[in-house]
C-alpha cells in the first residue's frame, strides 16, 4: 500500500543513560563528567542533576513492558561507560555489565531489537582528568571500550552506534561551555573533533574484527543552516556554522575528508593513516533531527557564528504560521525532508537510521489524569510525513526512533522540558502514557501514519 512504511521498518524510542538511569553511585559505577558538571553550582537550571533521573536503573522492566505494550520493535539506549569500565580504562565492572545484560535480555524477551549507543556524553571523569577528548590517547582507550562492549553484548545485539551527536558535545563542551566538561577553548575543540573522528574509525575496526556481522554507524545531529539576514556577514557565518555543526564529523567519517573551512584548524592533529582509519565502510548513518537553524555572525562567539535567538531575527520567523516547540525550536517538517535528502544525495545514498526526532511541550495533566498532548501528535504526523516522502523519493530510511520514551533530564535545562510519549511525575516517578503513546500504538499497528488519530 502506498502509504505504508517498509515491512522491516524499525519503530522505537531513544533514550540516554545519564538522562534516565539515576543510580549514579550504585554497583561500582564511577563519576562521569555529567556527575561533576551537574554538581557544580550554576551549571544546570535550578541546579538539578541526574542522581535519580527517572530511575530507569531500577524500573527498566516496567519501562520495557510499556514499550512492548504498543508493539515497538526496537529500543535505542546508551551505555554508561562508567558502569562498565569505571576508570574508563582497564578493569571491567561485572555489575555494570550485568545491568545492561538484563536490560538487553528483557528487550529480546519482548521482541524488541536493542540499538546500543556507546557514548552519549557521559565520559568517565578520570578520563576527563587526563584531557578527555582533547587528548589523543582517548582514541585507543575508546577503541578498547568498544571491544569490551562487543565481547559482552555482541552475541545478542546487532546494531551499534559509536557516538551520539559528536558536534553537540564538542561545541557545547569545548567552545561555549554550556555542557560538560564546560570549556571555552578552541584548541581543545579542534583536537577533540579529530580525536572523536579517529576514535570512531578505530572502534569500528576493533568491533568488526570481533564480530563482522554487527552493523555500526555514528549518529549525527544535522540541521539545514539558513542565514538570519541577507548580510554578507551572516551568509559567511552560515557557511562556517554549517561546517562545524553538520560537516565536521559527517565528511571525514562518510566521505573521507575534512570540509575546506575546517582543514587548516585540524591539520596539525592529523597523523599518518588517520584519514584512512576514519573513513570506514559504515553500515549506516544515524540522523537526529529537530529543526533548521538560523545563523548570525557574532564576533564575540569563538566560532564567529551562532544560532540566532528567535527574538533577534529582524523580520521575525517567516510566515504567519511559524510555530515553536517548548524548546523554542521551529516546526519545519520540510527541513527534515531536506536533511534526509542531503544525506541521500551527498553522502552516497547510505542506509539511514533516524535515531531521534521529537518535540517538547508543557503536557498538562487533566483532571481525569489524561495527558492529551495533541501538539506532539500533530508534530509527529508532520515529521513522519516528511520521512515517508523521503522514502518514496529513494532515501534508504530504515528506522524512526522518537525522542523520547519518557520525560527525563534534559541536560543543562534540568527537568523543565518534557519530550516523552510517557509522562513521568518527577517526585513519585510514576509513569503515565500520554495520548502520543497511543498514537504510536496505532502507527506501529498499521505501519502507516494514523492521520485520523
Ligand atoms: O535530550 C537530547 C538528547 O540527549 C540528544 N538529542 C537532542 C535531545 C533533545 O534536546
User: How far away, in angstroms, is 299 Cα from ligand 1 center?
Assistant: 27
> Cα 143–149–153 angle (5° rounding)?
155
259 is a domain residue: yes
Tell me what pLDDT residue 274 has: 98
Q: Which atom of ligand 1 is nearest to the CA of 358?
A: 9
Instruction: Note whether residue 276 is domain-resident.
Output: yes
233 flagged as catalytic: no
In the residue annotation, 87 being an active-site residue is answered as no
pLDDT of res. 376: 98
Active-site residue (options: 21, 330, 356, 410): 356
CA distances from 278 to 137, 159, 245 (A): 16, 19, 18
Q: Indicate whether 245 belongs to any domain.
A: yes
Cα of 412 to ligand 1 centre, how many Å?
11
Q: Which ligand 1 atom is nearest residue 288's CA? A: 6
Q: Which residues form the domain of 416?
A: 10-446
**What pLDDT score does 321 carry?**
58
Instruction: Give the model's pLDDT for residue 319.
Output: 61
Give the residue, out of 77, 411, 413, 416, with the most ligand 1 atoms within 8 A of its beta carbon, to mutate for a pocket test.
Answer: 411
The rounded Å distance from CA 410 to ligand 1 centre is 7
CATH code, domain with 233: 3.20.20.80
In whole angstroms, give the CA distance from residue 9 to residue 397.
8
Alpha carbon nearest to ligand 1 atom 2, residue = 410
Pocket test for ligand 1, best of 13, 410, 415, 416 (most atoms within 8 A of CB): 410
State residue 236 phi and psi, 5-degree precision.
-65, -45
Q: Is residue 452 part of a domain?
A: no
- Looking from the CA of residue 360, the nearest atom of ligand 1 is 9
Q: Tell me how many domains the chain contains.
A: 1
Tens of pLDDT along the chain (453 residues) come to 579 999 999 999 999 999 999 999 999 999 999 999 999 999 999 999 999 999 999 999 999 999 999 999 999 999 999 999 999 999 999 999 999 999 999 999 999 999 999 999 999 999 999 999 999 999 999 999 999 999 999 999 999 999 999 999 999 999 999 999 999 999 999 999 999 999 999 999 999 999 999 999 999 999 999 999 999 999 999 999 999 999 999 999 999 999 999 999 999 999 999 999 999 999 999 999 999 999 999 999 999 999 998 888 876 677 655 689 999 999 999 999 999 999 999 999 999 999 999 999 999 999 999 999 999 999 999 999 999 999 999 999 999 999 999 999 999 999 999 999 999 999 999 999 999 999 999 999 999 999 999
Atom of ligand 1 nearest to the CA of 411: 1
Distance 357 CA to ligand 1 centre (A): 9
pLDDT of residue 312: 87
- What is the whole-number distance in angstroms between the Cα of residue 273 and the centre of ligand 1? 33
- Does 212 map to a domain? yes
How much is the pLDDT for 315? 66
- Give domain status of residue 36, yes or no: yes
Which residues contact ligand 1 via a Cβ below 6 A?
16, 19, 165, 288, 356, 403, 410
CA–centroid distance, 419 to ligand 1, in Å, is: 9
Given 21, 165, 330, 410, the catalytic residue: 165
5 in a structural domain: no
The C-alpha cell 554550556 sits at 178
The verdict on residue 334 lying in a domain is yes
121 CA closest ligand 1 atom index: 4
Amino acid at each position: 500500500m502506498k502509504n505504508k512504511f517498509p515491512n522491516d521498518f524499525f519503530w522505537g524510542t531513544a533514550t540516554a543513560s545519564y538522562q534516565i538511569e539515576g543510580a549514579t553511585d550504585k554497583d561500582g559505577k564511577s563519576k562521569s563528567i555529567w556527575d561533576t558538571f551537574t554538581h557544580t553550582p550554576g551549571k544546570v537550571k535550578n541546579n538539578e542533576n541526574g542522581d535519580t533521573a527517572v530511575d530507569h536503573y531500577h524500573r527498566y522492566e516496567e519501562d520495557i513492558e510499556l514499550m512492548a505494550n504498543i508493539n515497538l520493535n526496537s529500543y535505542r539506549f546508551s551505555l554508561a561507560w562508567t558502569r562498565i569500565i569505571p576508570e574508563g580504562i582497564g578493569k571491567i565492572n561485572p555489575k555494570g555489565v550485568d545491568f545492561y545484560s538484563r536490560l538487553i535480555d528483557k528487550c529480546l524477551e519482548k521482541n524488541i531489537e536493542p540499538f546500543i549507543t556507546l557514548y552519549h556524553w557521559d565520559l568517565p571523569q578520570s578520563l576527563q582528568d587526563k584531557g578527555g577528548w582533547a587528548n589523543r590517547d582517548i582514541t585507543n582507550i575508546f577503541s578498547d571500550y568498544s571491544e569490551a562492549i562487543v565481547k559482552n553484548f555482541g552475541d545478542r545485539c546487532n546494531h551499534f552506534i559509536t557516538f551520539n551527536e559528536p558536534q553537540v558535545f564538542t561545541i557545547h563542551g569545548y567552545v561555549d561551555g554550556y555542557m560538560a566538561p564546560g570549556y571555552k577553548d578552541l584548541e581543545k575543540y579542534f583536537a577533540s573533533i579529530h580525536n572523536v573522528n579517529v576514535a570512531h574509525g578505530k572502534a569500528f575496526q576493533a568491533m568488526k574484527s570481533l564480530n563482522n556481522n554487527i552493523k555500526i554507524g555514528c549518529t549525527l545531529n544535522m540541521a539545514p543552516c539558513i542565514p538570519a539576514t541577507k548580510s554578507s556577514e551572516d551568509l559567511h557565518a552560515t557557511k562556517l556554522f554549517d561546517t562545524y555543526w553538520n560537516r565536521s564529523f559527517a565528511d571525514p567519517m562518510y566521505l573521507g575528508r575534512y570540509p575546506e573551512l575546517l582543514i587548516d584548524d585540524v591539520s596539525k592533529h592529523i597523523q599518518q593513516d588517520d584519514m584512512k582509519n576514519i573513513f570506514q565502510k559504515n553500515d549506516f548513518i544515524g540522523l537526529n533531527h529537530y529543526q533548521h537553524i538560523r545563523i548570525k555572525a557574532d564576533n564575540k562567539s569563538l566560532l564567529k557564528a551562532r544560532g540566532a535567538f528567535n527574538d533577534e531575527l529582524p523580520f521575525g520567523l517567516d510566515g504567519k504560521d511559524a510555530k515553536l516547540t517548548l524548546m523554542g525550536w521551529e516546526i519545519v517538517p520540510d527541513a527534515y525532508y531536506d536533511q534526509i535528502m542531503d544525506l541521500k544525495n551527498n553522502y552516497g545514498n547510505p542506509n539511514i537510521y533516524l535515531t531521534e526526532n521529537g518535540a517538547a511541550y508543557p503536557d498538562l495533566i487533566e483532571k481525569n489524569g489524561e495527558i492529551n498532548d495533541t501538539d506532539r501528535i500533530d508534530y509527529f504526523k508532520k515529521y513522519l510525513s516528511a520521512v515517508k516522502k523521503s522514502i518514496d523519493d529513494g532515501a534508504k530510511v530504515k528506522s524512526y526512533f522518537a525522542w523520547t520514551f519518557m520525560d527525563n533530564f534534559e541536560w543543562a535545562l534540568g527537568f523543565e522540558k518534557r519530550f516523552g510519549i510517557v509522562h513521568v511525575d518527577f517526585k513519585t516517578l510514576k509513569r503515565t502514557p500520554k495520548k502520543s503513546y497511543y498514537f504510536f500504538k496505532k502507527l506501529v499497528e498499521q505501519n502507516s501514519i494514523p492521520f485520523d488519530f
